[in-house]
A = this chain, B = another copy of it.
């Protein structure tokens, strides 16, 4: 087979009409709201009717700490879904939507890769079904209403220095990170400092992905803290009266998007919150709907297992009342080499010793996942440069951890290549050994929750949490927020807060720089290190090469 790029493969896909994909799941066409011929939203009426059905089994795909070598978590998620369908298990894939803005900086992301992709890839990297635009609109409406409230007399007595609701745009626009607004005199309001984040960083996004239904969505939106008064008491979104209109703007965005894999299997692609200041998972409504429609639901979480799987378990599963039957940890020989100290330029050469050394990173993730009471399979996402000896080294290591590693060749072969992984996952799921438990109870204090994650998951010696932050956490406990889970914002490249420390470091502490309350989403964010909520564009942005060619095809986006 001649080498084909992801986009060439995606364009050559023999897509079925989306109504056929829906019909295979038992969704009648009148409950599928089409967006073109290959995308559709699933109607709320249909979802409501599923309540009494039993749930299928949930499989989480997570990974070792990401390295520049790439792990292929989404690719493996898609490949596993196709593999399960191939071996006769009905499976639905649930992944996140892509953010528009970053595609114009670096080249756009595929949804998967090789023969394990979700299509239509171009739409998914552009406006898709408009969900993120709806989130931007809802967020912007609240922002406008806050300043409008201040403009017309500020009855709520908002301290204009303490408006915490920023604005958002789905674009990499560093010039908007920090601005002074309401300039220009009396007609334009009271000047104050504020700024823009990228849309995926909006609390509205996190809420959309955690809300059970539209009623829950509206309540959560209303509970968001948008500002503080001089006496430090919070002003909520519901005080501004925006939550109803925001819900109206989000009513379609709340419905899961149905698309298909290259092998015409169903995929829900819905929601996409940041994986640092938010929980980084696709929507609860998509996952729960999929669980009603299929025997297996394969989903993924952001970053490595230390961040993504931890939040998936402690935030999403806890709040949604769901639990994984099996967790797949994706590793690659290349990533093990980099964790073992090999530079990116040297990844081409066989280096079994480095692979073995790097497996310590994988081992810690396996142990962590098992700590949640869920059985683990390691998927070795195959690269054509991997040698047999290197693959065997990973397999041997994993066996030593009392788990199984399966080489998976979905990128190259599609479901034919992932069938062995699917068999292993199905076998473990059928055995029904999972005894899911969150890492900490709701009732644990907020500071202790942070400490528990740092010491039990990252294996830090402790956290550095100064008196001011402890007092803030205590205040929130007194205000009734003590039951919330904690959302850690930390570098994804290391168990520590230092992105250069690969492998399985020990002897470090986790300094917490700031804590934030996402009262609507329902978690407390602990920020450990620099977190960028508005990316910039590179010197030569991809946008300069993106255009329609004479055939009407998009060039330069991928």
Contact = CB atoms under 8 A, between A and B. Distances in A.
B144 A537 contact: yes
A130 interface: yes
A36 B33 contact: yes
B543 A242 contact: yes
A36 B545 CA distance: 33
A169 interface: yes
A85 to B, nearest CB: 27
Contact of A140 (B145, B173, B245): B173
A242 B547 CA distance: 9
A498 B493 CA distance: 64
Contact of A133 (B33, B127, B171, B557): B127
Contact of A148 (B193, B214, B243, B536): B536
B247 A547 contact: yes
A380 interface: no
A218 interface: yes
A537 B37 contact: no
A243 B556 CA distance: 13
A445 B11 CA distance: 51
A143 B171 CA distance: 10
Interface string A150-161: 011100000000
A174 interface: yes
A48 to B, nearest CB: 10
A434 interface: no
A7 to B, nearest CB: 13
A539 to B, nearest CB: 4
Nearest to A217: B548
Interface in A274-330: none
A46 interface: no
A108 to B, nearest CB: 10
B127 A548 contact: no
A87 interface: no
B144 A175 contact: yes
A554 B248 CA distance: 7
A97 interface: no
Contact of A546 (B100, B148, B244): B244
Given A37-B33, A539-B152, A543-B241, A104 B179 contact: no
Contacts of A35: 34-36
Contact of A144 (B36, B44, B173, B214): B173
Name the residue in A178, A189, A195, A218 with the highest tally of chain B Cβ atoms < 10 Å from its Cβ: A178
A245 B104 contact: yes
Interface stretch (A67-75, A180-188, A342-350, A456-464): A180-188
A34 B17 CA distance: 12
A134 interface: yes
A552 interface: yes
Contact of A100 (B137, B171, B182): B137
Nearest to A132: B133
Name the residue in A147, A187, A252, A543 with the highest tally of chain B Cβ atoms < 10 Å from its Cβ: A543
Given A144-B537, A547-B248, A178 B188 contact: yes
Contacts of A516: none
A11 B498 CA distance: 58
A544 interface: yes
Given A34-B36, A548-B248, A179 B183 contact: yes
Contact of A557 (B126, B248, B554): B248
Interface string A184-217: 1001110001010000000000000000001000
Contacts of A153: 539
Given A543-B241, A548-B218, A151 B127 contact: no
A140 B175 CA distance: 11
A170 interface: yes
Contacts of A169: 140, 169
A189 B218 contact: no
B179 A175 contact: no
A13 interface: no
Contacts of A182: 174-175, 178-179
For the complex of A and B, 3 pairs with smallest distance between CB atoms: A244-B547, A178-B184, A147-B175
16 contacts: A30-B37, A34-B36, A100-B137, A104-B245, A133-B133, A144-B172, A144-B174, A147-B174, A147-B175, A152-B539, A153-B539, A169-B169, A174-B189, A218-B548, A245-B544, A251-B548
Interface of A: 30, 33-37, 44, 100-101, 104, 126-127, 130, 133-134, 136-137, 140-141, 143-145, 147-148, 151-153, 167, 169-184, 187-189, 193, 195, 214, 218, 241-245, 247-249, 251-252, 536-537, 539, 541-548, 552, 554, 556-557
